[in-house]
Amino acid sequence: MQRQGVDKGRSFENLVFAGLGIELFVGNDMYRDIYGTRKLGIKTVFFKSNQGLQEKDDVESDFLIDDFLELLHAIK
């Protein structure tokens, strides 16, 4: 299956987690990143920033962070 849009499969955080055997997706847009990933059953982390859609009706991430150091809590 080929994904459309920006290929985030090579992003830093996904490469790090792939090496640890952890399936986790980090995104900063509640609809474009979190909504679809949750539909696939993948654990999500929403990185709160000044970019991307911050809220979307009926969409929630598994974890909410505003500092990448907080990822340690998400992968435990």
Question: Domain coordinates of the chain in residue numbers?
Answer: 12-74
pLDDT (tens digit per residue) in 3-52? 444 455 555 455 455 666 667 888 888 988 889 888 888 888 998 878 77
pLDDT at residue number 23: 78
pLDDT at residue number 75: 73
Inter-CA distances, 70 with 26, 42, 49, Å:
12, 18, 14
| Whether the model pTM is above 0.75 | no
State how far the Cα of 29 lies from the Cα of 27, in Å rounded to an integer: 6
pLDDT (tens digit per residue) in 54-76? 778 888 999 889 888 888 777 76
CATH topology of domain 12-74: Rossmann fold (3.40.50)
* Region of 36 on the Ramachandran plot (φ > 0 left; ψ -120 to 50 alpha; else beta): alpha
Our measurement of the distance from residue 17's CA atom to the centroid of its chain's CA atoms, rounded to an integer in Å, reads: 11
